[in-house]
Amino acid sequence: MTTRFADKSVLVTGGGTGIGRAIALAFAREGARVAVAGRTEASLAETVALIEAEGGKAVALVGDVARSGDAARLVRETVAQLGGLDVAVNNAGILGTPAPVADVEEEDWQRLIDTNLTGTWLAMKHQIAELRARGGGAIVNISSNLGTHFRLPGLGAYAVTKAAVATLTRAAARDHIADGVRINLVSPGPVDTTMSTRPGETAADKADRMKAQVPVGRAGAPEEIAAAVLHLASPESAFTVGADLVLDGGVTA
């Protein structure tokens, strides 16, 4: 346990699994009180239990950021239960059903837009209002190297939403730095989570695929993404505004 974020309150959306869980744990290990938000109560409880087992402070908040009422409530409950809000990390997102652009079902397109783009906007909208009232803070959004930097067949709809999140982040960063709210973006490539595992793929199969596709020879670890998020949220990055930090092992180099 270190103290870089001692006495800070942090809200992490999509914190029940994968990258979000790693981010929540990393903040707690550096002294933060963490609100872990998401749609699945059981996975959120697991993240909270892991944090508490290491002596950290965390609460689970069930909600869907694609719903304005939920996005606002997550901020209110973070403030009420943790004593404030200093940092928000918007990690909630879905991959959708891979398909060529012309074959994407309208329902799947709308789900991707609602969760990945509208959900990020709604979350930021309510987070910025709270941070602005408090005199400032930091927001880190999680996008992807798919979108602005890279495309893959069958993932066009997902890439569109993530490219939009990147543009939204930069626009918000310019709009709200005068309010003391510093906003940045992390764009991971393939990370060793269930989202990057293909149906029926074994761990060995995935390792071979990553070795062939990623110049560094492997998928990223969730903890490596978390480390970058903490850096952008910390005072060490006080001069970093509207940055898009790509972490993809050299895929888009």
Q: What is the pLDDT of residues 86-102, one digit of tens each?
A: 999 999 999 999 999 99
Class of domain 9-247: alpha beta
Give the CA angle between residues 72, 75, 76 to the nearest 5°. 85
| Pairing status of strand 137-142 against strand 244-247 | unpaired
pLDDT over 90 at 1, yes or no: no
Give alpha helix (H) positions in the chain.
18-29, 41-53, 68-82, 106-112, 119-134, 156-176, 203-213, 222-233
Q: Which of 87, 92, 57 is nearest to 75 (CA)?
A: 87
Question: How many beta carbons lie within 10 A of that of residue 179, not counting itself?
Answer: 15
| pLDDT score of 31 more than 90 | yes
User: CA 60, CA 230: separation in Å to the nearest integer?
Assistant: 20
Task: With H, G, I as helix, E, B as strand and everything else as coil, classify residue 49.
Answer: helix
| Residue reference for tokens 């939204």 | 168
**Bridge partner residues of 140 (DSSP):** 89, 184
C-beta separation of 142 from 89 below 8 A: yes
Residue 104 is predicted with a pLDDT of 97
Q: Give the neighbor-by-neighbor strand order of the sheet with 137-142.
A: 57-62, 33-38, 9-13, 87-90, 137-142, 181-188, 244-247
- For residue 203, the model assigns a pLDDT of 87
Q: Choosing from 148, 158, 176, 182, which is the catalytic residue?
A: 158
Tell me what pLDDT residue 197 has.
Answer: 83
Q: Is residue 21 very low, low, confident or very high in pLDDT (cuts 50, 70, 90)?
A: very high
With contact defined as beta carbons under 8 Å apart, do 12 and 34 qualify? yes
Q: Is 158 a catalytic residue?
A: yes
- Write down the domain spans for the chain: 9-247
Contact by Cβ (8 Å): 22, 223:
yes
